[in-house]
């Protein structure tokens, strides 16, 4: 269990967003593991990358994940098929903050096509800097 560890993955549509996230996470001093993909030009299938990230988180429960595809939708759906994943598809700083505060999300997903660098960094900062509130929110999570 490593609280300082971040796994990142994307499909081709999310590649550029993943690269921005990777740079930010490295600058923050996180231990980063880039699970691909490695190019925006080669078409790949987002479930393969969501599943790879989920497999790593299963053995590394304290770690967090970042997933990016074109819209963020497909890759978040795929990730949430895994019971140990609470993947939040976020669009801005507020949704990223609430994903931690209320949902104890362990994976942040966002759109690579509709998020600019400023938005991505704002979401990452909120995701990493917000602690889970617990209490009534834990009860709700227990019912998932
Ligand atoms: C790939 O073209 C695109 O469908 C994918 O990145 C994502 O947006 C799916 O939800």
Q: Give, for 93, the enclosing helix (H) or strand (E).
A: helix 93-101
For 93, the token pair is: 């700083």
Contact 69 CB / ligand 1 (< 6 Å): yes
- Distance from the CA of 2 to the center of ligand 1, in angstroms? 30
Q: Is residue 2 over pLDDT 90?
A: no
Mutate to test the pocket of ligand 1, among 71, 73, 113 (most ligand atoms within 8 A of CB): 71
Q: Shortest CA distance to 65 belongs to which of 98, 95, 25?
A: 25
pTM of the model: 0.97
- Model pLDDT for residues 87-129, shown as the tens digit of each residue: 999 999 999 999 999 999 999 999 999 999 999 999 999 999 9
**Domain 5-142, second-level architecture:** 3-Layer(aba) Sandwich (3.40)
Active-site positions?
69, 102
């Amino acid at each position: 269990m490593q609280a300082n560890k971040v796994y990142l993955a994307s499909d081709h549509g999310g590649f550029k967003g993943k690269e921005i996230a990777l740079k930010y996470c490295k600058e923050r001093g996180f231990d980063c593991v880039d699970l691909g993909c490695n190019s925006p030009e080669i078409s790949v299938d987002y479930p393969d990358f969501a599943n790879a990230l989920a497999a790593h988180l299963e053995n590394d429960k304290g770690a967090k994940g970042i997933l990016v595809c074109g819209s963020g939708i497909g890759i978040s759906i795929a990730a949430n098929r895994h019971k140990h994943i609470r993947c939040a598809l976020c669009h801005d700083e507020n949704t990223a903050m609430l994903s931690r505060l209320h949902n104890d999300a362990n994976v942040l997903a966002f759109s690579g096509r509709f998020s600019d660098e400023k938005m991505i960094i704002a979401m990452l900062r909120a995701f990493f800097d917000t602690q889970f509130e617990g209490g009534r929110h834990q009860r709700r999570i227990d019912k998932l």
